[in-house]
Amino acid sequence: MFSKPKILLSWLALLLCFASLFLSSWIILPAPNMFLLTLAVGAPEVSPWLLLLNLLSLSLAFFYIRRRKLQRFACIFSLIGLLICAWVLVNIPLTQVQMTKAMKQGLGANYLEQIPVQVRAKMQTHPFDLVNSFRGIALAKTRHQKDILFASPAGVALKMEVYQPSEVGKYPAVVVIYGGAWQYGNPHANSEFNQYIAHQGYTVFAIAYRHAPKYRFPAQLDDVRTALNFIRKHAAEYEADPERMVLIGRSAGAHLAMLAAYQPDAPPIRGVVSYYGPVNLTEGYKTPPNPDPINTRAVLKAFLGGSLEELPNQYKIASPINYLTHPLPPTLLIYGSRDHLVEARFGRQMYERLHKSGNTAVFLEIPWAEHAFDAVFNGVSNQLALYYTERFLAWALFKQ
């Protein structure tokens, strides 16, 4: 006879084995809806934690589950979870090698030598640090200003946040544009990233724009261009150098960053960083991902005001890939192989078109990453993305 505490421990161990496998499975399973997308985004980023959870559940199953069949099932659950998590961690070194190679191919084999030593000294020393996965990436003190009004189109108050290094000076400008399917979001998004970049020696401007479906394209692009003009006009006030500027965007924000930088009359921009940004809205509408948790066609209809059949020219005008007819700023494209909102094939297509048109571009692909992988700031994917992003920024803005 088993005592009640032992029976309870046995069932708890079984439950933990199932839960750890369920969470780990979203590292490889595609999410069919937005609710499960959160798990698919987060699971690979916290895979070191899930690895420990699977080890714990395996130990508990081995020691506390006495019924052989249940113990066997529980141990199998935990072992499968362990293998899934290990797949991410084992692939990190190879991914680092591929990313390093891609950076050198795009920017030149000696691109790091063009970055001043004092700038390189502040950067992350390794693309991935397991310790940082558990304790977090250290954030130093910076100055932060909120609710800076830069425009009021149609009576909508558009505000920005500014992050500055702790010491007064004159710094290159990094303009950050949030994602959210062009329908939601705010400048406070990804504040950890903004604070980190500011400490590296940049003035970071996190800007807002009007949202669809109430305000349709090109309202969002107009707002970004207005923000850029405001930043250039008030650069001295915020200790920014208007002649050294890079745009960084995520998802819908990356789309706007590319569009703004690629306009023939764009202000001087030294580079663009696109985290999983849409580049070809026409093809995106024709061939949505499968599964399609965000309902891509509905999102594009809300943004542009109708379907591809109704507004083919709008889809063309709103696609950054159609602006590669003149010299463009260097572009860093970072995508996840498992992205089911903006598939990596579009980033690869953009890279190939940029390369063929004679423009400088780098394409980085993270095998296990879903859309919005950098939502976990100290996650596996964001550590890699951050490592190469800060090198691209330094090369674009400080190169000698």
CA angle 249, 351, 37 (to 5 degrees): 50
Q: Read off the pLDDT of residues 207-252 as tens digits, 9 standing for 90 and up.
A: 999 999 999 999 999 999 999 999 999 999 999 999 999 999 999 9
Could you give the maximum distance between any two Cα atoms of the chain, in Å? Answer: 81
Listing DSSP states for 227-264 in one string gives HHHHHHHTTGGGTEEEEEEEEEEETHHHHHHHHHHHST
284 token code pair: 């995106």
- Residue 243 CA: distances (Å) to CA of 65, 170, 195, 246: 66, 11, 22, 10
Q: Are 235 and 258 in contact (CB under 8 A)?
A: no
Cα end-to-end span (Å), the chain: 77
Residue-averaged pLDDT of the chain: 95
pLDDT at 128: 97
Mean pLDDT of 32-39: 95
Encoded amino acid at 123, one letter = M
| Helical (H) or strand (E) element with 89 | helix 68-107
Here the tokens at position 134 are: 């558990």
Entry pTM: 0.96
3-state secondary structure (DSSP) of residue 358 = coil
pLDDT of residue 61: 84
